[in-house]
Amino acid sequence: MTPLLKVENISKFYGHRIGCKDVNFDLYPGEVMGIVGESGSGKSTLLNCLAGHLDPDTGEVLFEMRDGAMRDTVTMSEPERRMLSRTDWAFVHQHARDGLRMNVSAGGNVGERLMAVGARHYGNIREEAVDWLGRVEISETRVDDRPTQFSGGMQQRLQIARNLVTGPRLVFMDEPTGGLDVSVQARLLDLLRGLVREMGLSAIIVTHDLAVVRLLADRLMVMKDSHVVETGLTDQVLDDPQHAYTQLLVSSVLQV
Amino acid sequence: MSDYNFAYLDEQTKRMIRRAILKGLAIPGYQVPFASREMPMPYGWGTGGVQVSAATLTPEDTLKVIDQGADDTTNAVSIRKFFEKTAGVDTTEETAQASVIQTRHRIPEEDLREDQILVYQVPIPEPLRFLEPSEIETRKMHSLEEYGLMHVKLYEDIAKHGAIATSYAYPVKVEGRYVMDPSPIPKFDNPKMEMAAIQLFGAGREQRIYALPPYCQVVSLDFEDFPFEASKADHPCDMCGATDSYLDEIIMDDAGNRMFVCSDTDYCASRRKAGHVGAQAAAASVALKETAA
């Protein structure tokens, strides 16, 4: 099997400070990769480099295009990369308001990606939007409400619907459950797990919440001070952490 | 008159504006930045249109200025006076006589010819502005032809009102490339934009000029199941009886009486001169005869 995403020697520097250094990994179709680490360890920098929001200083991000060819998304032209980011890629922000248009109705938010790739039939767009709202457990009656009238959890689910509507193959998630209370988190995780399995999505999830990766991720990458310190299968890393920092991380989780 | 340089602006400024106009004509629908000058009138009164007109006028030109189709409103009168004073050009109220027509919010009813220039006053040139506040981002969207967002606005209209409720400043796509704001003309005028005359758009505060060369393809955006419709009040003009012109609705009293009249005053007047009479004009002349008798 060929990887969907091949990351080679990605480094990003902010002047003298290091964002992330020499990151390598392969992501296979249908696989969910978790990236954990403390605040400031370079997780978000890495994710933004992979998703094309930041320009990495070294390295390649090879993505398997629909025609099967591996293309470097770092050196690819901007129109191509933007096309990719509204078709094959999706990006779920930590704060839903970063990823949503707050003054556009829920239906319009979901429909935007469809219209961006050329959908021009109102009836079909709306049908699809209602279908996706249903899949993320938002009632059809809320389709014309603005996200400002939604709760935090609903906004986050709406953001997910908006991202998945074009059937992306790779989803980047930056702390998707951050800022939500635990019961809402649990529901969101359950929903995400269902969608990932059902659609066969590949995903890269950045989080500092070990429970999230335990539930969603197949593989785990632990970052500390801009470097990857440990990688492996999620259960393996969490049950038998090798690196001192990972041991600290695992032992810091409160047991209720 | 000799106190001013011809048409108020100095020659260097006019050259700069003409360069922007030529660039705009070369790339139909593209917003060309230009160094807009302070004009002796407030922003929102047509400072962009005035600068474009000033750069376009020659001493032989005949100027017509309309505001919402009318020749006799404050904005139209003051701009016409401005050019009478600073350029000394002939002015007219007749569409056919004019070689340069500056307009706010309307296209004249009468078809324009190849030797005429139509100058629009534009308040906000960026059609994407209300959905995307960042200028950097909207420029990128234009350059990469990412216009999905424009349809989000139309989607919102249908979701809210059951039909595309945008009735003025209706977005158009020019020559299959740039999405353009046709300035706040009613969407009734949109199909007229494929015309013989040169159309120039000036936005003074926003410092942008854009243009449409003659016979340029201008398509109003829509959905397959909600096609574009050039709508107007379903009524004939009460003064001249015209059924094909864009109408203003005028409230006559507090008993619910209203009348519809052509917004293009020159069109209405010339039709009445030719003997056409609308319903209320006919009733008024009958009443007048009765009181005389």
For residue B3, pLDDT over 90 is answered with: no
- A·B CB contacts under 8 A: 53
Does B158 lie at the interface with A, CB-CB under 8 angstroms?
Answer: yes
Cβ contact B159–A143 (<8 Å): yes
For residue B68, pLDDT over 90 is answered with: yes
- Token duo for residue A152: 């935090």
Whether this prediction's pTM lies above 0.95 is answered by no
Interface test with B, best of A78, A115, A130, A142 (most B CBs within 10 A): A115
Cα–Cα dist A86/B56, whole Å: 43
Does A101 lie at the interface with B, CB-CB under 8 angstroms?
Answer: yes
Q: Give the list of residues 6+ apart from residue A191 with CB closer than 8 angstroms, or none.
A: A136, A137, A157, A160
Give me the percent of chain B exceeding a pLDDT of 70. 99
Q: Give the list of residues 6+ apart from residue B20 with CB closer than 8 angstroms, or none.
A: B32, B33, B34, B209
Please provide the average confidence, as pLDDT, over all residues in chain B. Answer: 94
Q: In what order do the strands lie in the sheet with B62-67?
A: B32-33, B208-212, B198-203, B117-121, B100-104, B62-67, B90-91
For residue B1, pLDDT over 70 is answered with: no
- What chain B residue is nearest to A103 in terms of C-alpha separation? B131
Q: Chain A: nearest CA to B247, how far in angstroms?
A: 30
pLDDT at position B22 is 98
- Print burial letters for A53-69: b (CB count within 10 Å at least 16), e (below 16): ebebeebbbbbbeeeee
| Active-site residue, from B24, B29, B46, B278 | B29
Structure ipTM = 0.86
CA atoms within 13 A on the CB side of B15: 3
pLDDT at position B204 is 95
Of the pLDDT bands very low, low, confident and very high (cuts 50, 70, 90), residue B61 is: very high
Cβ contact B148–A117 (<8 Å): yes
pLDDT at position A184 is 85
Helix A182-199 / helix A152-164 crossing angle, nearest 10 deg: 10
Residues in a beta bridge with B172: B180, B220
pLDDT at position B243 is 94
Interface of A with B in 33-72 (CB under 8 A): none
Regions in chain A scoring below 50 on pLDDT: none
Over residues A99-128, the pLDDT tens digits come to 999 999 999 999 999 999 989 999 999 999
| Active-site residue, from B48, B49, B204, B268 | B268
pLDDT at position A182 is 84
| Contact by Cβ (8 Å): A97, A89 | no
| Contact by Cβ (8 Å): B205, B48 | yes
Instruction: State whether the Cα torsion A15-A18-A20-A23 is positive or negative.
Output: positive
pLDDT at position A38 is 86
Does B165 lie at the interface with A, CB-CB under 8 angstroms?
Answer: no
In 10 A of CB A185, how many CB atoms?
Answer: 19
Does B144 lie at the interface with A, CB-CB under 8 angstroms?
Answer: yes
Q: Give the list of residues 6+ apart from residue B173 with CB closer than 8 angstroms, or none.
A: B29, B147, B179, B180, B218, B219, B221
DSSP A211-224: HHHHHH-SEEEEEE
Cα–Cα dist B278/B210, whole Å: 39
pLDDT at position A240 is 93
Q: What is the mean pLDDT of residues B206-227?
A: 96
φ, ψ dihedrals at B247, nearest 5°? -115, 145
Cα–Cα dist B138/B195, whole Å: 28
Cβ contact A112–B148 (<8 Å): yes
C-alpha angle B127-A93-A183 in degrees, rounded to nearest 5: 130
- Token duo for residue B159: 């979701």
Residue ranges of alpha helices (H) inside B162-278 are: 265-273
| Contact by Cβ (8 Å): B99, B116 | yes
Cα–Cα dist A159/A140, whole Å: 16
pLDDT at position B2 is 59
Cα–Cα dist A128/A106, whole Å: 12
Per the annotation, the verdict on B237 as an active-site residue is: yes
- CA-wise closest residue to B168 among B65, B69, B20: B69
- What chain B residue is nearest to A83 in terms of C-alpha separation? B146
Cβ contact B152–A143 (<8 Å): no
Over residues B164-181, the pLDDT tens digits come to 999 999 999 999 999 999
Over residues B125-165, the pLDDT tens digits come to 999 998 889 999 999 999 999 999 999 999 999 999 999 99
- Print burial letters for A218-233: b (CB count within 10 Å at least 16), e (below 16): bbbbbbbebebbbbbe
pLDDT at position A233 is 96
Per the annotation, the verdict on B216 as an active-site residue is: no
Q: Give the list of residues 6+ apart from residue B93 with CB closer than 8 angstroms, or none.
A: B64, B71, B265, B266
Does B223 lie at the interface with A, CB-CB under 8 angstroms?
Answer: yes
- Name the CA radius of gyration of chain B, rounded: 20
Does A105 lie at the interface with B, CB-CB under 8 angstroms?
Answer: yes
